[in-house]
Amino acid sequence: MRALIFGTTGQVARELARTAPPGVEILAFGRAEADLSDPAACAAAVAARDADVVINAAAYTAVDQAEDEPGLAHAINAEAPGAMARAAAAKGVPFLHVSTDYVFDGAPGRAWREDDPTGPLGAYGASKLAGEQAVAQAGGDHVILRTAWVFSSHGRNFVKTMLAYGRDRDEMRVVGDQRGGPTPAADIALALWNIAAARHAGAGAPGVYHFAGAPSVSWAEFAEGIFAASGWARAPRVTAIATADWPTKASRPANSVLDCGAIGRVFGIAQPDWRAGLARVVAELSKETAAS
């Protein structure tokens, strides 16, 4: 199977490269090969290459900054995926696209299902929802994978932030009234590879699916788990605070918990335990620190 992947430096893109199954040939496009702010270039990249599946693991993810540049967020998160999906549809190959819990308004209650009404709270979520709609409207074989609270040993994420700031502090004040499922990027990559293989073989079904880690926790509870996994002799005390006490330019969903039952029923993909992924990431970061 030959996979054309948009994204080379992001968390999921890196893990896609690292976890590619035997026999898979990857064509990875970064900004130099296909600038996501130029949808026509993205479509041309798909049209010019022979691939069995196209995966978009690239995105504009600066949630607060998107409030100041919604046009750029829309170009990268909506127009580019739409162009990729149309080009993939024209070639008759499946298109896999990574989306987000931010398409929901975060109203408290049960876990979000794929067919629940959307209602993004800010420019980032709106751009990602528009991307989902553009991909679906392309009319091709597509899978949209919504995920949440992504972490890995690469790039910027909550795990790395907690480990960087927590080592020298006695207390960490962390939001305790937002809940979600932390998701290891490696598990997202493995899910995408399983879906790609299934769709290439004509198995499974197109559509929107949720994939996030379990059990669901608050950011404060996640921080406690991170410090417990760190193995530090002296870890900071985590104090849960309200969202109102940690103001941000863009609003965050209070409830980001995703119901992941459908992906299990259709593709046989189990919801990952984020604690196992966290242990792997902490071990990777410890090795990097020891080697530096």
List residues with catalytic annotation. 124
Longest Cα pair distance anywhere in the chain, in angstroms? 57
What are residue 120's phi and psi, to 5 degrees?
Answer: -60, 145
Region label for 155, one of left (φ > 0), alpha (ψ between -120 and 50) or beta (otherwise) = left
Helix axes 185-200, 11-18, angle to 10 degrees: 60
Q: Are 101 and 112 in contact (CB under 8 A)?
A: yes
d(CA 116, CA 132): 14
Token couple for 24: 């898979």
